[in-house]
């Protein structure tokens, strides 16, 4: 093509009606003066890929990799035929048949055959070649002319909006081409002596690279040319400081030579480059290496290669435009490493978390530090079987990349050992950056490690490569909420996201901070401008719908997860499906062992394998969790095997029932609803069961909700009933009530008709603990009504015991004694030691209130003996507190103090927070009675510190009134008034008339009597 073809970038259309395609701005095509519609961006990306790889034949696999990258369409290469058909229809001339199309088809791919078509890329190539040719010939004016027209072609962003790694890579390449052209222009201006223009070009052009020594040399020469010697020297000092601080090396020979020339005012050296020095912008060994030491240590230069200079390779895919919230990870990946060995870093994480984008960004940031090239190999572990890249194939690719074009690899070199030997020999004198993507095992990666000192390897994959020696192992976690919203704002635009801030937050949450999910959701919003963020978030309202919505053409979050699942062993798949049915977000080894009916060791092996496959997270030792979207995928897989799922669900729900019953003071046999019929408990003692429930934290209510939502009514009721003791011990009354309220509607649908009465008894017990005696009495009355007609003696005993306790606190002494006596008789017939002890303690408290303390002590002695046989520290502590009250009333202060000290220790051992606070307050009262007011104050404060925010108002009022009374006795009236006022200001203080009255008496200065015989917080 002659000069006229590229002489003016203002006339891109051939006047004779030939086809013209532009890629250096928005992708456009024209035939003559008529624009052609190329369709959606993905179709444009296919056309661009064919043009960029022309005249090579492009296979389906290569096209899919170029346009879709690591997220190929679910329909595979079949999607390409529809795109190519539409492109041919648009681009072919009116009379052109298939044989004359610009896109030729062949077996397994396509080729772009331009014929009479012309692209602006060709124009750019010609202009760049003329620029370099003129510059080499010393015709700097012509070089400026050609280079200026080349820069005109690069005014706009090339291939804007086109997806895929190839488009990204081309944008990066053209950005570097643009920088090189600007730098060449600046150099030509310097060589022509046009120093002010050169300085303007160096200041205004996008040339900034922190370690670009040739550029710094140009700037020094231009500054010296306009008489600014001091500034030229400052440029050198700044560059030297940066190289030493960040790379640990001195400037290269060219920059040092310019520095010396500026110092000596050497006009012979400054106007032009020294002979034989490389052109600015050409990577050289001294760009990032320190000055060569002795000759025997010098790394071979490209010119040493027998086939001629080896061009520097950069095979990195294009950098993603949006990478949010990865600053810490990038800092770790780009931190300086030792120059003496090969540094290896592994990056793992679940599918779609952005591992490849992260390592590619890091690699581009490190590009300048690796003079011998940046290589990229994708092992396609999670692609189709035929796409997987084995060691031989990967090694041959890498060997071709580091050898000169004429240095072919022998065909008979196919043995892995021989290839590894050749690879290490070829790289022994090179400093390379190698990125290995989608690696599954250490065995895949070890043969690929280069041998050159100072080389760096970044390995990305879903699996933890524990068998690979690595300097750093980095697990990429999903984005936090703020970062996820930030990425969403980048993808859909700040105005649109900020218009619906709450919906943006909800959408980010439903995407689980997973960049792939956020990108797909953003693509859907971009393609549907009428959709609001709230509308899409609403469409993702549950697990199944979330996965369904996170699909856009060929990209799917679930497909990415499925690739990981398909590579698991049968045992691991079975475990993964079971975990999808876990009722809590976090779980442990025992959860899976129960679901699989396996040993803990086997279950742990499966869990750790799933962690290594990045399908499972381990936030704390021994605790595991599934990402929300991974969990949704696991549940969907579980539903494909309904009988297996039903068994898993029943097993895990039985586990929670067994834990609650074993941890309860009632004991496994003390529940009115009897065994659940699914076998024994996996917990040998109550301590193990209690510790297991404690590890579940605040997720126990979720288990009841899960059972209720799954239609497992009996399980929901049994679990809520079994958890009462555990939750009350921790002062978690709100959670306990929430669990029971979730279960109550299930009681009407449960096969066990006793549940309706039992759950109402439990609600009454919780109200007793919280001092809500009237509400408690109502619950017990309802429990008796629902229990009528059922042969349920144990539940009946609990009902009458509860009624008696409530009636006593409400002032109905005679009815209380009658009901409690009946409860003792029923409990004895049942052999229910726990209920016998509780009823006797309440009867004893009534006798103490009547002044019959010795009779009360007889009741307490029996209760203590029963509790000690039972062996539960909580029941023993409770009985000892009652006995101490009677001893205090009898003036036996030493005996009372000894009993209370034991009670305090047992309550602490049982981790019963309300009982611990109550026993401490009793102990403080005993100290008060004996005149040890300072000690009493300290112990009262310890009791207050034990109370949680959800503690019973009744209990806290009692403790504060007692503390106020002690302050008053010590003459500390202001502090006493503060405690009385605080007691009155507590939420719901008006619901407790006795405590309310005592606090008001204290404020008036009256003598406040807190009867020691009245139990505070340990009535059950």
Q: Average the pLDDT over 586-601 and give the result.
A: 94
> pLDDT band at 345, cuts 50/70/90?
very high
Q: What is the pLDDT of residue 85?
A: 80
Q: What is the pLDDT of residue 267?
A: 67
Instruction: Please give the share of the chain, as a percent, with pLDDT higher than 70.
Output: 87
Mean pLDDT for all residues in the chain: 83
Please say if the pLDDT value at position 235 is more than 70.
Answer: yes
Q: What angle do CA 704, 706, 711 make, to 5 degrees?
A: 100
> Is 1010:958 a contact under the CB 8 Å cutoff?
yes
Q: What is the pLDDT of residue 900?
A: 94
Say which residue, 74 or 995, is predicted with more confidence.
Answer: 995
Q: Average the pLDDT over 795-799 and give the result.
A: 90
> pLDDT band at 24, cuts 50/70/90?
confident
pTM above 0.85, yes or no: no
Please say if the pLDDT value at position 205 is more than 80.
Answer: no
Please say if the pLDDT value at position 1011 is more than 60.
Answer: no
Tell me the per-residue pLDDT of 540-570, one tens digit each, with 9 for 90 and over.
Answer: 877 667 787 888 777 788 888 888 898 899 9
CA–CA separation, 366 vs 335, rounded Å? Answer: 9
Q: What is the pLDDT of residue 677?
A: 47
CA–CA separation, 295 vs 289, rounded Å? Answer: 14
Q: What is the pLDDT of residue 794?
A: 86
Tell me the per-residue pLDDT of 168-202, one tens digit each, with 9 for 90 and over.
Answer: 888 888 888 888 888 888 889 888 888 888 888 87
Q: What is the pLDDT of residue 411?
A: 52
DSSP string over 260-307 = HHHHHT-TTTSSSPPTTPPPTT---GGGTSPPP-SGGGPPPPGGGSTT
Question: Lowest mean pLDDT: which of 76-85, 289-298, 481-490, 621-630?
Answer: 289-298
Q: What is the pLDDT of residue 261?
A: 84
> pLDDT band at 408, cuts 50/70/90?
low
> pLDDT band at 300, cuts 50/70/90?
very low
Say which residue, 740 or 392, is predicted with more confidence.
Answer: 740
User: φ and ψ at 376, to 5 degrees?
Assistant: -135, 130
Closest CA relative to residue 323, chosen from 474, 483, 506: 483
> pLDDT band at 308, cuts 50/70/90?
very low
Please say if the pLDDT value at position 808 is more than 60.
Answer: yes
Q: Output the CA–CA distances (angstroms, integers) from residue 334 to 288, 327, 358, 456, in the order listed.
A: 15, 11, 11, 10
CA dihedral 666→671→677→682, nearest 10 degrees, is -10
> pLDDT band at 409, cuts 50/70/90?
low
Helices within 613-754 (DSSP H only): 628-639, 642-663, 686-695, 700-709, 713-729, 733-747
Closest CA relative to residue 997, chosen from 957, 951, 944, 943: 957
Q: Average the pLDDT over 801-820 and give the result.
A: 92
């Amino acid at each position: 093509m002659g000069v006229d073809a590229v002489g003016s970038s203002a006339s891109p259309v051939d006047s004779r009606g030939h086809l013209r395609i532009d890629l250096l701005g928005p992708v456009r095509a024209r035939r003559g003066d008529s624009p052609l519609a190329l369709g959606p961006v993905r179709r444009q990306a296919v056309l661009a890929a064919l043009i960029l790889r022309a005249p090579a034949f492009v296979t389906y696999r290569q096209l899919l990799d170029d346009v879709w990258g690591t997220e190929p369409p679910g329909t595979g290469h079949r999607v390409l035929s529809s795109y190519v058909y539409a492109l041919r229809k648009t681009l072919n001339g009116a009379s052109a048949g298939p044989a004359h199309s610009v896109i030729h088809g062949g077996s397994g791919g396509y080729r772009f055959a331009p014929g009479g078509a012309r692209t602006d890329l060709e124009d750019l190539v010609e202009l760049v070649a003329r620029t370099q040719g003129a510059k080499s010939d010393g015709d700097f004016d012509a070089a400026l002319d050609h280079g200026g027209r080349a820069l005109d072609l690069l005014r706009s962003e090339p291939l804007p909006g086109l997806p895929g790694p190839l488009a990204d890579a081309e944008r990066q390449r053209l950005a570097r081409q643009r920088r090189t052209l600007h730098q060449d222009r600046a150099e030509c201006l310097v060589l022509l002596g046009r120093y002010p223009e050169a300085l303007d070009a160096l200041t205004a052009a996008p040339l900034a690279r922190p370690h670009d020594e040739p550029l710094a040399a140009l700037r020094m020469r231009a500054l010296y040319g306009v008489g600014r010697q001091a500034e030229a020297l400052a440029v050198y000092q700044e560059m030297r400081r940066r190289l030493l601080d960040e790379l640990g090396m001195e400037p290269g020979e060219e920059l040092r030579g310019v520095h010396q020339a500026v110092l000596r005012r050497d006009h012979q050296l400054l106007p032009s480059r020294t002979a034989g020095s490389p052109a600015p912008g050409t990577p050289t060994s001294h760009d990032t290496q320190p000055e060569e030491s002795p000759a025997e240590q010098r790394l071979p230069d490209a010119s040493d290669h027998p086939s001629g200079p080896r061009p520097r390779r950069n095979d990195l895919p294009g950098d993603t435009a949006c990478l949010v919230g990865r600053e810490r990870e990038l800092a770790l990946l780009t931190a300086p490493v030792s120059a003496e060995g090969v540094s290896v870093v592994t990056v793992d994480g679940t599918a779609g978390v952005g591992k490849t984008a992260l390592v590619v960004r890091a690699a581009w940031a490190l590009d300048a530090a690796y003079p011998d090239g940046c290589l990229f190999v994708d092992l396609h572990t999670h692609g189709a079987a035929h796409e997987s890249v084995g060691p031989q194939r990967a090694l041959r690719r890498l060997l071709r990349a580091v050898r000169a074009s004429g240095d072919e690899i022998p065909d008979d070199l196919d043995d892995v050992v021989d290839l590894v030997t050749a690879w290490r020999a070829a790289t022994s004198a090179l400093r390379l950056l190698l990125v290995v993507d989608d690696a599954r095992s250490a065995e895949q990666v070890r043969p690929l490690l280069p041998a050159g000192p100072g080389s760096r390897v970044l390995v990305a994959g879903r699996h933890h490569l524990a068998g690979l020696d690595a300097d750093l192992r980095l697990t990429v976690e999903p984005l936090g909420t703020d970062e996820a919203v930030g990425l969403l704002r980048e993808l859909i635009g700040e105005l649109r996201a900020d218009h619906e801030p709450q919906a943006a937050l909800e959408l980010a949450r439903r995407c689980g901070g997973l960049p792939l999910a956020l990108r797909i959701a953003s693509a859907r919003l971009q393609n549907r401008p009428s959709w609001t963020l709230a509308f899409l978030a609403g469409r993702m309202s549950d697990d199944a719908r979330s996965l369904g919505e996170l699909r856009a053409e060929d990209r799917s979050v679930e497909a990415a997860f499925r690739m990981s699942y398909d590579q698991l062993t049968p045992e691991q798949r079975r475990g993964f499906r079971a975990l999808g049915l876990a009722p809590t977000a976090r779980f442990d080894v025992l959860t899976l062992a129960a679901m699989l009916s396996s040993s803990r060791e086997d279950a742990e092996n499966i869990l750790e394998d799933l962690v290594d496959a990045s399908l499972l997270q381990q936030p704390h030792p021994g605790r595991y969790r599934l990402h929300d979207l991974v969990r949704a995928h696991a549940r969907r897989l579980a539903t494909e095997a309904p009988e297996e799922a039903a068994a898993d669900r029943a097993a895990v729900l039985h586990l929670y029932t067994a834990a609650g019953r074993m941890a309860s003071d009632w004991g496994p046999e003390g529940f009115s609803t009897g065994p659940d019929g699914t076998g024994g408990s996996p917990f040998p003692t109550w301590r193990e069961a209690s510790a297991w429930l404690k590890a579940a934290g605040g997720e126990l209510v979720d288990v009841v909700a899960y059972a209720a939502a799954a239609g497992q009514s009996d399980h929901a009721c049994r679990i809520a009933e079994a958890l009462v003791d555990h939750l009350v011990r921790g002062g978690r009354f709100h959670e306990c009530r929430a669990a029971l309220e979730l279960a109550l509607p299930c009681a009407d649908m449960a096969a066990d008709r006793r549940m309706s009465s039992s759950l109402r008894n439990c609600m009454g017990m919780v109200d007793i603990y919280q001092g809500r005696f009237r509400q408690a009495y109502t619950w017990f009355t309802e429990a008796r009504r629902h229990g009528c007609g059922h042969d349920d003696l144990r539940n009946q005993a609990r009902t009458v015991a509860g009624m008696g306790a409530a009636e006593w606190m409400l002032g109905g002494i005679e009815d209380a004694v009658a009901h409690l006596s009946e409860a003792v008789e029923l409990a004895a017939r049942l052999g229910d030691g726990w209920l016998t002890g509780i009823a006797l303690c309440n009867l004893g408290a009534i006798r103490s209130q009547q002044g019959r303390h010795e009779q009360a002590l007889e009741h307490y002695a029996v209760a203590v003996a029963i509790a000690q046989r039972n062996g539960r520290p909580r029941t023993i502590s409770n009985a000892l507190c009652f006995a101490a009250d009677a001893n205090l009333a009898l003036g036996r202060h030493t005996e009372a103090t000894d009993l209370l000290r034991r009670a305090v220790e047992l309550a602490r051992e049982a981790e019963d927070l309300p009982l611990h606070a109550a026993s401490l307050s009793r102990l403080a009262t005993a100290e008060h009675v004996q005149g040890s007011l300072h000690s009493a104050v300290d112990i009262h404060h310890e009791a207050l510190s034990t109370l949680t925010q959800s503690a019973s108002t009744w209990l806290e009022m009692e403790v504060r009134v007692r503390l106020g009374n002690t302050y008053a006795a010590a003459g500390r009236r202001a502090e006493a008034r503060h405690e009385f006022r605080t007691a009155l200001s507590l939420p719901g203080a008006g619901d407790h008339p006795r405590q309310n009255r005592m606090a008001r008496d204290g404020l008036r200065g009256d003598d406040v009597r807190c009867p020691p015989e009245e139990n505070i917080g340990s009535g059950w």
